[in-house]
Amino acid sequence: MNTFTLQDYGFTQQLDPLHTEGTYARVTAVHKQHYSLMTDQGECLARLKAGIYFNNGTEEFPTTGDYVQIQYNPGGDSLIVRTLPRRSKFSRNDFSGHAAGYAKTVKEQTVAANFDYVFIMQSLNHDFNPRRIERYLALSWQSGAIPVILLTKADLIDDPSEYLAKVQHLANGAKVHAISAKTGEGLDRLSTYLIRGHTIVFLGSSGVGKSSLVNALAGEDMMAVSAIREEDSKGKHTTTHRQLLLLSSGVMVIDTPGMRELGMWESSAGIREGFSDVERYLGNCKFSDCAHTREPGCMVRAALESGELPQERWDSYVALRRETAFVENKAAYLRNKTAQHVALKVGERQRQRGGKHR
């Protein structure tokens, strides 16, 4: 018997700016055709109401963590009729047009919503990659939530302090902790983030120990875990879909599969925030259009030469900026192409109809 209420899942009436009457729910998982929801009536399965979501509707497709309004059906599938505004989200470019269901244009696809913290996880073995942490940080700042970096499997090395120092340099203010789900080392430091009613999303490559941390925090095996490959320490993609879980402490966790798929969808604000230590050198060069390559009076080059600005930090910044610009251009290019294609089809149909009437 389920004794949880939607309030336990973080719902308050303030989340609905329209203050409508109705039944609300939180999306705990997204399947091919169905959504798993938690409501005051307990868990239920739901589908999207077609007239609202598919016929040129403007309603955003729900994702894991979303609060939605539903038409509750105790005898079968409920219907989702509205997606409530999100306070934070992760998005990616949906170039395929399949992932969002039926949308055929390039659009933003939201993959997790309404979380307070992002645990960026990387293990202290061969997976350790500072560049990937910078990338996740930019995405996390962009999401609207607070990133926290966790270096996992601390039991595998004698002293994590060297890694902690390295990551603190690029964290630009985000907190960094070394933990072990196996021995429990460092888990007490996470209590600051484990607040009843709050939601935390776990990000990181397959095998870093996301589901193991869920289980360690839950004190029970809620998620399946499997060994990484011996040869290259890569994970086996054990978690296959994003899943929101309520722990007995009242904290919610969104466990995710290794999010290889997260692209740099519109992350300029996140890059600005994650790289404010780099961006403070911009705008002070002699020439306002300085490309920071060979121009005289370039403050960026001066900071690089004096060592004040680490070269790898600058390189990461430039690479991520370039990638964002590329992603945005690609989206614009595909949008444009789709628009041209649609215009052609419309023209074709009009010509065919015109032909028949003649």
Ligand X SMILES: Nc1nc2c(ncn2[C@@H]2O[C@H](COP(=O)(O)OP(=O)(O)OP(=O)(O)O)[C@@H](O)[C@H]2O)c(=O)[nH]1
Q: Are strands 67-71 and 78-83 parallel, antiparallel or unpaired?
A: antiparallel
- Distances in Å between the Cα of 191 and the Cα atoms of 116, 177, 251 are 14, 12, 11
In the complex with ligand X, the residue whose CB is nearer, 224 or 319, is: 224
Report the residue from 8, 16, 59, 155 that binds ligand X according to the rule CB under 6 A.
155
Question: DSSP string spanning 310-329?
Answer: -HHHHHHHHHHHHHHHHHHH
Q: Measuring CA to CA, which residue among 95, 99, 88 is closest to residue 270?
A: 88
The answer to whether residue 64 forms part of the interface with ligand X (CB under 6 A) is: no
Which residues are within 8 A (CB) of 46 and not within 5 positions of it... i.e. 6 or more apart?
Answer: 25, 34, 35, 37, 68, 70, 77, 78, 79, 80
Does position 208 bind ligand X by CB under 6 A?
yes
The answer to whether 107 contacts ligand X (rule: CB under 6 A) is no
- The radius of gyration of the chain's CA atoms, rounded to the nearest angstrom, is 23
Cβ-Cβ contacts under 8 Å for 341 (sequence gap 6 or more): none
Residue 300 backbone class (left: φ over 0; alpha: ψ -120 to 50; beta: rest): alpha
* By CB under 6 A, residue 221 contacts ligand X: no
**Partners of 172 in the beta sheet?**
none
Tell which positions 236-295 bind ligand X, by CB under 6 A: 236-239, 257-258
CB of 293 to ligand X, least distance (A): 40
> Would you list the DSSP string of 333-347?
HHHHHHHHHHHHHHH
Among the residue ranges 94-102, 127-135, 153-161, 165-173, the one whose residues contact ligand X (CB under 6 A): 153-161
CA distances from 218 to 33, 139, 187, 236, 299 (A): 29, 27, 12, 22, 50
209 binds, among ligand X, Mg ion, none (CB under 5 to 8 A by kind): ligand X
Q: Which is nearer to ligand X, 70 or 213 (CB)?
A: 213
Interface with ligand X by CB under 6 A: which range of 80-88, 164-172, 203-211, 290-298? 203-211
Q: Which partner from the list ligand X, Mg ion, none does 153 bind, CB cut-off 5 to 8 Å by kind?
A: ligand X
Binding partner of residue 323 among ligand X, Mg ion, none, CB cut-off 5 to 8 Å per kind: none
Cβ 67 to Mg ion shortest distance, Å:
25
Could you list the residues that contact Mg ion (CB under 5 A)? Answer: 210-211, 238-239
Q: For residue 211, state whether it binds ligand X (rule: CB under 6 A).
A: yes
Residues 14, 18: Cα–Cα separation, whole Å: 9
- Asked if 160 interacts with ligand X (CB under 6 A), we say no
Q: Which of 206, 243, 267, 324 binds ligand X (CB under 6 A)?
A: 206
Shortest Cβ distance from residue 237 to ligand X (Å)? 5
Q: How far is the CB of 226 from Mg ion (least distance, A)?
A: 8
**What residue ranges bind ligand X (CB under 6 A)?**
152-153, 155-156, 180-182, 204, 206-212, 225-228, 235-239, 257-258
